[in-house]
């Protein structure tokens, strides 16, 4: 059971937009920065978003992040088949003094 | 170019020990906080622990499931991160990634190695 809650799966058609939610609590998301990761099949995770809404260099602006209270959201526009992957949210939990991840969301581009 | 290369994984029996290494290049290693993250087969990401840089005391934090059994260390002269794993259990079977930490509070994992597989089985 993950500290952060994500939907197990989401799907959308190519070219459409999808959002992935990440729900936490006052000890993690509400008071710490959120990051998002993409893991393509058989590869290591890659950072997509950090500090709630910042993109590392090389990450297209189709990917966006937002946070409100104890929840965070990853948005992906202009979906491509190459976006099919598992997506994870992460943050620090001040009560646990530990980094925590969501359980992951599998994105299918139909 | 940032590169993280893990090594040391393999098949061990329950109760045995293993030491993983992560050789870093392409950045100033001694200034960067580092973490280990693992992923059991078919499962999600699980943080193992982190070590801060020496200029802030090289503080180490561990996830509850590994505290007391795993030890993280770093050798800044060799640009290498280590994970000593003792008394291994079958539930420690996973791919182990080393990561660099960044962001405003140091909590995001910016670069990842390719991972090294640890299998604990009799």
Q: How far apart are CA B37 and CA B105, in angstroms?
A: 18
On chain B, the residues whose CB falls within 8 A of the CB of A102 are 44
Q: Best of A24, A42, A99 to disrupt the B interface by mutation (most B CBs within 10 Å)?
A: A99
On chain B, the residues whose CB falls within 8 A of the CB of A28 are none
Strand partners, A104: none
At A1, the pLDDT band (50, 70, 90 cuts) reads: confident
Residue A24 tokens, joined: 């936490």
Of A33, A54, A101, nearest to B47 by CB-CB distance is A101
Closest chain B CA to residue A49:
B108
Q: Is it the case that residue A29 has pLDDT exceeding 90?
A: yes
The reply to whether residue B64 touches residue A96, judged by beta carbons under 8 angstroms, is: yes
In this structure, are residues A79 and A16 in contact, taking their beta carbons and an 8 Å threshold?
Answer: yes
- At a CB cut-off of 8 Å and minimum separation 6, what does B12 contact? B18, B88, B118, B119, B120
pLDDT tens figures, B68-109? 999 999 999 999 999 999 999 999 999 999 999 999 988 999
């Amino acid at each position: 059971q993950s500290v952060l809650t994500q939907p197990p799966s989401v799907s959308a058609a190519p070219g459409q937009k999808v959002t992935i939610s990440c729900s936490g609590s006052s000890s993690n998301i509400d008071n710490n920065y959120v990051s998002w990761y993409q893991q393509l099949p058989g590869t290591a995770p890659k950072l997509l978003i950090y500090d709630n809404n910042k993109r590392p260099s090389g990450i297209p602006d189709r990917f966006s992040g937002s946070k409100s209270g104890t929840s965070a959201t990853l948005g992906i526009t202009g979906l491509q088949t190459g976006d099919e992957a598992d997506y994870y949210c992460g943050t620090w939990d001040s009560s646990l003094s530990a980094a925590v991840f969501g359980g992951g969301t599998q994105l299918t581009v139909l | 170019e940032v590169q993280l290369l893990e090594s040391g994984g393999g098949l061990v029996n329950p109760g045995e020990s293993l030491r993983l290494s992560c050789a870093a290049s392409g950045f100033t290693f001694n200034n960067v906080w580092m973490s280990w993250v693992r992923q059991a087969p078919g499962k999600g990401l699980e943080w193992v622990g982190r070590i801060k840089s020496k200029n802030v005391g090289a503080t180490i934090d561990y996830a509850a499931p590994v505290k007391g059994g795993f030890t993280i260390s770093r050798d800044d002269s060799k640009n290498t991160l280590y994970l000593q794993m003792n008394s291994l259990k079958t539930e420690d079977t996973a791919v182990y990634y080393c990561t660099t930490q960044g962001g405003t509070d140091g909590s995001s994992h910016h670069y990842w190695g390719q991972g090294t597989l640890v299998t604990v089985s009799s």
